[in-house]
Amino acid sequence: MNTTSTQSFKDHFLIAMPHLKDPNFADSVTYICEHNDQGAMGIVINRPTGLTLDEIFRQVGITPSHGNAHISDIICAGGPVELERGFVLHSPSESHWEATLQVAPGVQLTTSKDILLAIAQNEGPEYALIALGYSGWDKGQLEQEILDNSWLVCKADPNILFNTPIGDRLNAAVAALGINRSMLSPIAGHA
């Protein structure tokens, strides 16, 4: 009988430590959508792509309703894997989408085009964060990176995820730990 279990960081933020220089993750906050003994998957939530939702609508052939409230929403770079694929982190909705994962009571992840169609018609979820690509870790990789002090980990806050401007999410996530980001050392170490 295997009694070993992995602590799941699902519904947590990974906050990059200052010494993490990987260009995909430097100064990033990643929302972990899935984490089990096979690996982890998350979406970087504070890296703007320079694209707006209106541009995504045009690329996939969706015509938004007149006066759509979301056309100027900024699209995030969710991570280095499957950069052409869209991921929508959103609040729960009465609508049901074709491909949705319940991440936490207040957060779902949808990858099907039907949610974009609903957002284009102002019939989508109340809150949504759209990203291209995702971040992935193989079995044991995330755990090792945390042991190596590459990441701070804290319980996710939907307010940071959905209501905090992209440029403020890193400082807000660090502050949720009761830490001033300027006090973090760029040198890794173990106590």
| CATH number of residue 28's parent domain | 3.40.1740.10
- Please state the domain count of the chain: 1
What contacts 155, CB < 8 A, 6 or more positions away?
11, 12, 13, 176
Give the tens place of pLDDT for each residue, 118-130.
999 999 999 999 9
122 closest CA partner among 190, 168, 64: 64
In the chain, what percentage of residues exceed pLDDT 70?
Answer: 93
Rounded-to-integer distance, Cα 107 and Cα 90, Å = 6
- Window from 95-99, 108-112, 183-187 with minimum mean pLDDT: 183-187
Does 26 map to a domain? yes
Residue 55 token pair: 């541009």
Q: What is the pLDDT of residue 156?
A: 97
Q: What is the pLDDT of residue 6?
A: 61
Instruction: Tokens for 147, please give them.
Output: 């042991």
Q: Which domain holds residue 145?
A: 12-88+132-183
Work out the pLDDT band at 187, boundaries 50, 70, 90.
low
Residue at 111 is within a domain: no
pLDDT at 4: 44
Summarised one tens digit per residue, pLDDT across range 132-162 is 999 999 999 999 999 999 999 999 999 999 9
115: which 2 tokens? Answer: 């949610």
